[in-house]
Structure 1
Amino acid sequence: MFSRKMIILVLIACIIGFCFTVMTLSSRHALPSSTAEQVTFSLVSPFQSFVNASIDFTKGIWRTYFLAVLAVEENRQLNRQLGQALKIQNRYEELELENQRLKKFVNFTGSLEHSYVAAQVIARDPSPWFKTIMIDKGVQHGLQKGNPVMVSEGIVGQVTEASDRYAKVLLITDRNSAVDGLVQETRVRGIVKGDSSENCFFVYALKKEDIKAGQVIVSSGLDQVFPKGLKIGSVLMVEKKHSQLFQKITVQTSVDFDKLEEVLVFRRAD
């Protein structure tokens, strides 16, 4: 008994033999002329058409496969190039924003009679009870405890601790901070106190004083820490109670501490 595999091999051999015969006949004559040739051609033609169709189908599959592989590789290369382009664009935008901030620093420091040190914010206290930041400049750069820290928008705080290369800055929003200030328009004096929140309070302003929302609060210079006339913020809300001697004034700081990246540390000129 012949096995199934042997039968399949014999059939394939027969098909190949038929195809070879037809190809031989076709090469000798444009069309079959004898009766035997015509019969052979009629029998083999379907098989030859099937083989040719199979070959064309297989070629199509392989061509599609290789094109898909090439497309996938090209897509990967394009994605890598796109990633590099986006990285360069993001870096450019960051440098442009940093350049704009530094230009503000240059314009701001040109009007002051103090030397200064530019520093970057490298850390901030995550605790909700304390408002402090760390900067990348310290004693080696001429910083010491008590140096005022600010940006072009206004006062940031003051240095409370300084090591060789780093310093800790107490923000004006911290509950332990106090800045001697005054209302720019009416010259009413008071103390700007932090509350460990987003805003500050202008305290010790007598109830008789006319203070309105929107008025600007600046440093008075009387605390011997911050130069006179630096912006602290603006009056956000005023409350007057008959039972109290002083007004309760909420101040919105001019500095957005959540977006603080660079600062200026001032040293008084000798």
Structure 2
Amino acid sequence: MFSHKQFIFLGVALFIAMNFTVITMGSTESLPAQGLERLFISITSPIQQGVTKTIHFTRNIWNTYFMTVLAVQENVELKKQLEKTIEIKNQCKELKLENIRLKKFVDFTGLVPDTYVAAQVIARDPSPWFKTIMIDKGEKDGLVKGSPVLVSEGIVGQTIKVAHNYSRVLLITDRNSAVDALVQNSRVRGIVKGNNTVKCSFVYALRKDEVKEGEMIISSGFDQVFPKGLKIGSVLKVTKVHSQLFQDIIIETSVDFDKIEEVLVLKNIR
């Protein structure tokens, strides 16, 4: 009994011998094509045709596989390039927005002769009972406790704790915050108090004083913390009760505290 490998070896040897015989007989001009030669041709031709088709089929499969691998590699590379392009686009957009914000700072500080330090907001107090932020400037930058913190839109708050490289800022929306203020048009005086919400109260304005909705509230400068004339917010609602000495006034702050990213800290105010 022949083994499987021996059977394959004999088949390949027979195929090679038959092909060699046909080629030899076909190349001898002195010998006419006899019946045996025609028999060999008829036997080997289908085999040769099958081998040729197998080779072509294998070649096509290999080419298809090779092209698929190249397409996958190219697709991966294109995805990387696309991700990088999107990242660069986002960075350019962020730089553009930052430049707009910083330009407002430049225009704002150019109108005031005092010295400011620009700082980045690096953290926010997650507690609902306190409204504070952390900035990346501190004692080494000339900041002290009680330094006013501003943006171009108005007052943000003041520093309450100052370390070497960082400072904590109490926002004017915190219930522990108080800013001496004026109604810009009528000059009615009061105190802006935080409510731990996005709105503040303008308290101690006498009921007899005329305060209208939409009027601007500014810092008075009397508290010796914030310079005079800085924007705080606009009057949102005015309520007068005859039995009360003071009005109930709600103001909407000029600053959107949820979107603060950079601030200016005023130095050397004393």
Per the TM superposition, whether the score is higher than 0.5 is yes
Contact kept in structure 2, 1:19 and 1:47, CA below 8 Å: no
- Inter-partner Cα distance in structure 2 for 1:65 and 1:100: 52
1:108 equivalent to 2:92? Answer: no
- Inter-partner Cα distance in structure 1 for 2:255 and 2:26: 92
- Inter-partner Cα distance in structure 2 for 1:86 and 1:265: 34
1:148 Cα offset (Å): 0.7
1:203 equivalent to 2:203? Answer: yes
- Inter-partner Cα distance in structure 1 for 2:79 and 2:168: 43
1:66 equivalent to 2:66? Answer: yes
* 3-state SS, counterpart of residue 196 of structure 1: coil
What pairs up with 1:74-223 in 2 under 5 angstroms?
Answer: 74-223=74-223
Residue 38 to residue 214, structure 1, CA distance change in 2 (3 Å) = farther
The aligned counterpart of 2:256 is 256
- Inter-partner Cα distance in structure 2 for 1:233 and 1:152: 13
**Segment drifting more, 128-137 vs 16-25:** 16-25
Residue 229 to residue 53, structure 1, CA distance change in 2 (3 Å) = same
* 3-state SS, counterpart of residue 176 of structure 2: coil
Residue 39 to residue 190, structure 1, CA distance change in 2 (3 Å) = same
Per-residue CA deviations over 1:194-233 (Å, capped at 9, x if unaligned) read 1111111111223333333322211111111111111111
- Inter-partner Cα distance in structure 1 for 2:87 and 2:26: 64
1:246 Cα offset (Å): 2.5
Per-residue CA deviations over 1:19-46 (Å, capped at 9, x if unaligned) read 55556667779xx954433332222222
- Inter-partner Cα distance in structure 2 for 1:144 and 1:120: 17
1:184 Cα offset (Å): 1.8
Residue 216 to residue 48, structure 1, CA distance change in 2 (3 Å) = same
The aligned counterpart of 2:45 is 45
TM-score under structure 1 normalisation?
0.88
Contact kept in structure 2, 1:149 and 1:264, CA below 8 Å: yes
Contact kept in structure 1, 2:26 and 2:33, CA below 8 Å: no
* Paired AA for residue 92 in structure 2: Y
The aligned counterpart of 1:230 is 230
* Paired AA for residue 233 in structure 2: G
1:72 Cα offset (Å): 2.0
TM-score under structure 2 normalisation?
0.88
Per-residue CA deviations over 1:216-268 (Å, capped at 9, x if unaligned) read 21111111111111111112223333443332222111111111111111124
Per-residue CA deviations over 1:40-92 (Å, capped at 9, x if unaligned) read 22222221111111111111111111122222222222223333333332222
Contact kept in structure 1, 2:138 and 2:166, CA below 8 Å: yes
* 3-state SS, counterpart of residue 87 of structure 1: helix
**Segment drifting more, 74-83 vs 62-71:** 74-83
Unmatched runs of 5 consecutive residues or more in structure 1: none
CA RMSD, Structure 1 to Structure 2 (Å)? 2.4
1:5 Cα offset (Å): 4.3
Instruction: Percent identity, please.
Output: 60
Residue 37 to residue 128, structure 1, CA distance change in 2 (3 Å) = same
